[in-house]
Amino acid sequence: MARAGIEQLPVGDSNHAFQARQDAAARMLANRHSPRRDFDGILRDAAAAAGVKLPRSPKTAAPNIFHRALMEPGARLLLGGTADVGMEDMLASWEQASPDHAEKIGCIRRVHRQAELAGTDLMAQSPMAEGMAGIVRTIESADDRELCAAVRNCTKASGALGVLMQRAVYEPEILARLMSDAMWDQWTRVGGIAPDGAVGAAAVAISTFQYLAMPEWAADLERYSAFIDELLTSCPQVSTSVASKDDPSH
């Protein structure tokens, strides 16, 4: 946000505050690169060349989460929460980014409409309901033990995943096992793979927020992390790499 010249989030439900957040979101996206290829597609093509057909996880809904159509409402959601992004706006963006998933998106639309008729706003129940303000509040309200555990578990999981993904370049069947789990979509390709630098730090920060705000998600991450550790143990070369990376003497 600092790069976009946003020093303080405009708050409130006035027209002025709403427009200020829309303008700020637009500045955040200025000159931002939106990948033309989806991450899953690149991996599947590479695996297919090696004779391995990769599965789709049970939760797959959109092939390219960084599609420009999704980045725009995502920026508005980050700044203003769900109050600034209606469900129809979000679903329309998903339809544009994922035209092959019309049936699944239509099902989501029906669920939200039925809930709305019953007087329930499912968007307001989202962990992202308050956007960045809610993320900051969640992290600040955690005690030292909770925060340290969340950061440690998320960092450890991302580090182990990164090493395993390097091995998967030569053994695509590892990808098949990783991608058959729902956490591939819920975590791996939306922040689990955390490169060095600011981008990686931001990915771990978002995972830490999810860990603190969503106990069921945290439990799934711990389960998936244990699964990753099992895969590392079953691959001696990877286990050696992890040991070397964690050893201060190296």
Q: Which residue is it, tokens 């993320």?
A: 135
Number of domains in the chain: 2
> Does a structural domain hold residue 249?
no
pLDDT in tens, 30-51: 877 766 566 777 777 777 777 7
Cβ–Cβ < 8 Å for 138, 209: yes
What is the C-alpha separation between 160 and 235, in angstroms, rounded? 12
Please report which confidence band the pLDDT of residue 1 belongs to, taking 50, 70 and 90 as the band edges.
low
pLDDT in tens, 153-165: 999 999 999 999 8
Task: Quote the pLDDT of residue 99.
Answer: 79
Same domain for 80 and 179, yes or no, is no
Query: First-to-last CA distance in the chain?
Result: 36
Same domain for 157 and 49, yes or no, is no
Q: 58 — alpha (psi -120 to 50), left (phi > 0) or beta?
A: alpha
**Domain range enclosing 152:** 142-244
> Does a structural domain hold residue 73?
yes
> Does a structural domain hold residue 186?
yes
Between 241 and 84, the more confident residue is: 84
pLDDT in tens, 185-237: 889 888 888 888 888 898 899 999 999 999 999 999 999 999 999 999 886 55
| 125 DSSP assignment | G
Same domain for 82 and 48, yes or no, is yes
Please report which confidence band the pLDDT of residue 168 belongs to, taking 50, 70 and 90 as the band edges.
confident
Please report which confidence band the pLDDT of residue 247 belongs to, taking 50, 70 and 90 as the band edges.
very low
What is the C-alpha separation between 85 and 76, in angstroms, rounded? 7
Q: Is the pLDDT of residue 241 over 80?
A: no
What is the C-alpha separation between 74 and 84, in angstroms, rounded? 10
Same domain for 162 and 225, yes or no, is yes
SS3 per-residue string spanning 161-200: HHHHHHHHCCCCHHHHHHHCCCHHHHCHHHCCCCCCCHHH
> Does a structural domain hold residue 67?
yes
Same domain for 111 and 151, yes or no, is no
Task: Quote the pLDDT of residue 243.
Answer: 38
